[in-house]
Chain A
Amino acid sequence: MSLDDLYAALKQLSTAHGISGNESGVAARVIDLFSPLCDDVRTDSLGNVIAVKRGEQQGSEETRIRFMVAAHTDEIGFLVSGIHADGFLNIAPVGGIERSLLPAKEVWVHTLSGPLPGIIATKPPHLTTSEERQKLPRWDEFHVDVGLPPEQVKQVVRIGDMITLRGRCERLTDRRVAGKAIDDRAGVTAMYDMLRRLAALRHRVDVYAVATVQEEVGLRGAMTATFGVAPHVGVAVDVGFGHQPGVDKKRSRELGKGPIIARGANIHPQVFAGLEHTAIEMGIPHQFEVAAGDTGTDAWAMQVSRSGVPTGLLSIPITSMHSPVECVDLGDIASTGRLLASYASRLDPEEVRGWQHVFV
């Protein structure tokens, strides 16, 4: 798939709106992208999109080997938590969003009668004291201004309406793209890339491409999706910290150098080895990271589903994570898709079966 195609898919996903718990708008675009490439696409009761591309293995549903790839659709954002008499909106965060990011950001307030543009209110510097400028306001001191008279606000806006960060998704260069919700729509795009490549590859295992919900609030979608799929091997695809000024190089990886393959307690040694060997043999650029315990990704939830799932993790490096200007390298997304597809096509059902029950 060309970088242009990849950019088109990423842009389509990045500009969809869906904070945790309200992902149906993103899910619809995922279904559009995945359906032509899969044998079956369904959503579960929390809203996870579960797409299956069957492999060449024989046998009934009980005996088939399932490989689950997961990337999350939800983005960080807010909910309307109150409506002031003067029409300003109180907001409550959903997901790990920093207060330092809020001043003067443009947002969409998604009401029953459509989205309203809004601005997160700030006092002008002329009117703030030097003391005020030294500290961050509390959450309940931030307000969204939708520019409507109070009576109209109360008619249109309801407590609980979703608020998303408003921003463009654009190419900075041929390879670099900046936008909102690159975390983890880049991962979803990589899954799409994988599915496109799998159309031309032979694979024995059934591949489940799962676009999960509610990752940012505690890996909730991955818990129920993994229980439902009951995979025999799984890989989560999320974003990782890219090098940028002010970030320790020990804790970040380079954009453009390929997906980051994780190892640590969350990662099954054979899955790590399989991903690494595939990358080396296929000449796919890749990097490594070590996670001491919780990877903070869907992989953490997948691993302990039912009787345990051998799990791996690929991270696509991005900068400015959890901001409206997350920046990603399209080549890294392509490398991730290629690594996933190659890995899936090499998975041997008998070997994977052997990981579940080890004779000692």
Chain B
Amino acid sequence: MSLSELSQIPGVSGDEQAVRAFIAAAIREHVDRMWADSMGNLFAIKGEHLPGPRVMLCAHMDEVGLIVNHIGDDGTLGFAAVGGIDPRVLPGVWVQVGPDRIPGVIGTKPPHLKSSSEREKPIEMDSLYIDIGADSADEAKQRVHLGAYASFWTDFETFGDGCAKGKAFDDRVGCHVLIETLRQPVRHPVLAAFTVQEELGLRGAQVAAYTLKPDAALVLEGTTCADLPSVDGHGQSTRLGGGPALTVADRSAIAHPGLLRTLINAAESAGTPYQLKRTTFGGTDAGAIQTSEVGIPVAVVSVPCRYIHSPVSMLQLNDVQAAIQLVRAFLQAIPTEGDPPWMR
């Protein structure tokens, strides 16, 4: 299953080439043509010459992670966070550094040696370092260069009742849904964009939308899910197992009302479960796509994922299947002639 492999590939924002190579190989025989741009976005076109609206399907390849910005005299690696990471999730975590995937751990001071006030405080990013087992700066420099990326090293596994855990479900699950969609025949032009640098501000999608100039865009995401006992109903965002979530509005975009209605109608007539996302926090590539040039109708379909932006996230495989079904139902609901349903 490609989600398992996708999840385990390192692909921190700005360093997505391994993810891109995997996806390119997975879709090559299913699309008409493929290329990458200078930022690293991967484009794949299917049914280019078919009639009907040109629909962009977008999923971002990048994940949050770390970048080495300092090599200490003792051989430890200082780092900065790439994308939004809460430093509290970092101590005691395994990482893979650089293109050679050198194993490393994020060290932490033993509690015995901490003052009582230190123990009560969350750890600050600046005090953390990666240990790759080097004893000197020279030894470290032979294996790692300044600017090397480090990604979480987490195995993908299925567990519990139809659940899976792994890193980077935000947004490898979207990539997985998009790959599965491209394996199906299409009835009108589908413009796939696997984008870069979403976690740094929707940057890949901004140029991807300018390049593709689609008639409408669907963003495929792994979204926040906080259906936990400590969280009130109105702060949970989504529910695991409740089906793919549709966004009405978040900080980056307001879904095109007609496109959202088309999605809901498609879900209901196909009998696919769905939920409406219950918070407006966060943003997706939709924000950058919507305001491209003269404006593009956008909507977002997300798989609920618990614990995103941490070394281990979790999802329900049924939600993934339902998301694939929903995207398929949406594409099939678009007639090849006349106005697309969202324009009515």
Q: Report if A and B touch in the complex (beta carbons < 8 A).
A: yes
A binding-site residues for B, Cβ under 8 Å: 250, 263-266, 268, 288-290, 292-294, 303-310, 355-360
Enumerate 22 A-B pairs (CB-CB under 8 Å) in ascending A order: A265-B200, A266-B14, A290-B146, A292-B67, A292-B69, A292-B80, A293-B14, A293-B200, A294-B200, A303-B203, A304-B206, A304-B207, A306-B210, A307-B37, A307-B38, A307-B210, A307-B211, A308-B207, A310-B38, A355-B38, A358-B37, A360-B34
Q: Would you call B39 and A360 a contact (CB within 8 A)?
A: no
Residues on the B chain within 8 Å of A293, using CB:
13-14, 82-83, 200-201
> Which of B21, B41, B83, B147 is in CB contact (< 8 Å) with A308?
B41
> Which residue from chain A places its CB closest to the CB of B16 in the assembled complex?
A265
Main secondary structure of the interface of A (DSSP, over half): loop
B156 to chain A, nearest CB (A): 24
Residues on the A chain within 8 Å of B211, using CB:
307-308
> In the assembly, what is the distance between CA of A305 and CA of B34, in Å?
22
Near A by CB (< 8 A), chain B positions 57-100 give 67-70, 78, 80-83
Q: Is B36 an interface residue (CB 8 A)?
A: yes
Q: Would you call B34 and A290 a contact (CB within 8 A)?
A: no
> Which of B42, B81, B146 is in CB contact (< 8 Å) with A292?
B81
Residues on the B chain within 8 Å of A268, using CB:
38-39
Q: Is B309 an interface residue (CB 8 A)?
A: no
Contact pattern, B 130-162, Cβ under 8 Å of A = 1, otherwise 0: 000000000000000011000000000000000
Q: Would you call B37 and A308 a contact (CB within 8 A)?
A: yes
Residues on the A chain within 8 Å of B206, using CB:
304
Q: Would you call B35 and A290 a contact (CB within 8 A)?
A: no
Residues on the A chain within 8 Å of B68, using CB:
290
Q: Would you call A360 and B42 a contact (CB within 8 A)?
A: yes
A48 to chain B, nearest CB (A): 20
> Which of B13, B83, B207 is in CB contact (< 8 Å) with A307?
B207
Residues on the B chain within 8 Å of A303, using CB:
39, 203
> Which of B38, B69, B80, B82 is in CB contact (< 8 Å) with A356?
B38
Residues on the A chain within 8 Å of B67, using CB:
264, 290, 292
Residues on the A chain within 8 Å of B69, using CB:
250, 289-290, 292
Q: Would you call A265 and B82 a contact (CB within 8 A)?
A: yes
> Which of A264, A288, A359 is in CB contact (< 8 Å) with B14?
A264
Q: Is B290 an interface residue (CB 8 A)?
A: no
> In the assembly, what is the distance between CA of A250 and CA of B39, in Å?
28
> Which residue from chain B places its CB closest to the CB of A358 in the assembled complex?
B36
B292 to chain A, nearest CB (A): 10
Residues on the A chain within 8 Å of B207, using CB:
304-308
Q: Is B24 an interface residue (CB 8 A)?
A: yes
Q: Would you call A294 and B38 a contact (CB within 8 A)?
A: no
Q: A265-B14, A290-B80, A308-B207 are contacts. A357–B37 as well, Cβ < 8 Å?
A: yes
> Which residue from chain A places its CB closest to the CB of B15 in the assembled complex?
A265
> Which residue from chain A places its CB closest to the CB of B66 in the assembled complex?
A292
Residues on the B chain within 8 Å of A304, using CB:
39, 203, 206-207
Q: Would you call B200 and A356 a contact (CB within 8 A)?
A: no
> Which residue from chain A places its CB closest to the CB of B82 in the assembled complex?
A292
Q: A292-B82, A293-B13 are contacts. A359–B35 as well, Cβ < 8 Å?
A: yes
Residues on the A chain within 8 Å of B83, using CB:
293
> Which of A292, A294, A359 is in CB contact (< 8 Å) with B201?
A294
Residues on the B chain within 8 Å of A307, using CB:
37-38, 207, 210-211
A189 to chain B, nearest CB (A): 28
Q: Would you call A263 and B35 a contact (CB within 8 A)?
A: no
Q: Is B20 an interface residue (CB 8 A)?
A: yes
> In the assembly, what is the distance between CA of A288 and CA of B201, in Å?
24
Residues on the A chain within 8 Å of B200, using CB:
265, 293-294
Residues on the B chain within 8 Å of A250, using CB:
69-70, 78
> In the assembly, what is the distance between CA of A172 and CA of B216, in Å?
60
Q: Is B197 an interface residue (CB 8 A)?
A: yes
Residues on the A chain within 8 Å of B146, using CB:
263, 288, 290
A315 to chain B, nearest CB (A): 14
Residues on the B chain within 8 Å of A310, using CB:
38
Q: Would you call B13 and A360 a contact (CB within 8 A)?
A: no
> Which of B15, B36, B81 is in CB contact (< 8 Å) with A360?
B36
> In the assembly, what is the distance between CA of A285 and CA of B67, in Å?
25
Q: Would you call B203 and A357 a contact (CB within 8 A)?
A: no
A165 to chain B, nearest CB (A): 31
